[in-house]
Amino acid sequence: MSLLLIIIFYLLYSLVFKHERVFLEPNIEVLLKEKANKVYLEDKIILALKEENIDDINMYHQLAKKLNIDFDNTLILSINEKNTLLNTSIRNIKEFSKGFIKGDVESFVSFTGSISSDFLLVGDIRDLYIEGKAYKKDEEYDEFILSISALGLFFSFTDIFSAGASIPLKISTSVLKVAKKTGSLTKPFTKEISKILKKSMNIKLLKKADFSSLTAMKTSYKSFSKSINLKSSKALLNQLTTLKQNTSYADSIFLLKYVDKTKDLNSVIKVSNKYKNNTKAVFKVLGKGAIKSTKSIIKITTIFILELVSLLFSCISFFSLVFFKSIFKKLIF
């Protein structure tokens, strides 16, 4: 009987702790309705108005519309005033220039400036020249920016893709570069991407490159580019393309704050497939709770079913043994 009890406890342990568990996805709609009520969104918009953060103003306003929340006329007038043609034009000129010249990004417009800079080769050449020169001299440099700039230039120079195929991949390299510069890339994901980039090129070849001038660097780069292999990096770049298409350039950078590994990126993309331009608002409200599950269930497998059946038979055998043993005692005594 003691052996049977041991078997039962072992099977119980196996069923509860050893089997693979499937994590249930968060119910975003329920979570949003619980937290993003009228008062919450009004407070967020009023704060954004004080800070003159037009992106957040419009983001929370769009989320309110999706959740069928109406605001009073005074707040609506304030929102509309910030979106007048004059105010928008002045702000856009400043932001575009900031992104184009420095590569700094705070909004969609400044990101467009940064992207334009990269597409005109100014950004990638600037970054490759600065970081490559430091790398060759054994000075402090940013290996991530060096590698992603080298990859970005590859899509600008290469003819192995059609323009339609290379442009989205090129944009994805700019997304990663800006995300790194603005601190939107988490340390774990930066580490994971860095490993992918190392597999995609032989960065050590840049030690032999001539960085004495931009012209000399361009010539050296053509030789270096032959070492680039997209087998490792193409999947990641395609994922970022999907995220950008679902949301926007600037929003895709913001959303990378919630990504620690490729699995997280897949989850963020899944949310963006449904919420599109409201995805940033979803994460602003719920944080990583939008993709992080707190509930799980045991995955049903053939082994699980067999162990469950074994447990049932063991329990039946145990209680049958106890029952018949008690009857046998009564018959004897």
Provide the angle, in degrees to the nearest 10, between the axes of the packed helices 38-50 and 54-66: 160
List pLDDT tens digits, range 223-238. 888 899 999 999 999 9
pLDDT exceeds cutoff 50 at 45: yes
Cβ partners under 8 Å of residue 93, min gap 6 = none
Per-residue pLDDT, averaged over 323-329, amounts to 54
Which position has the higher pLDDT, 217 or 251? 251
What is the per-residue pLDDT for 321?
56
For 298, phi then psi, to 5°, come to: -75, 135
What is the per-residue pLDDT for 278?
96
Report the percentage of the chain scoring pLDDT > 70.
66
Average pLDDT, the chain: 79
- Global confidence as pTM: 0.73
CA dihedral 113→103→197→135, nearest 10 degrees, is 140
What is the per-residue pLDDT for 222?
83
Which residue carries 């979570």 as its tokens?
A: 31
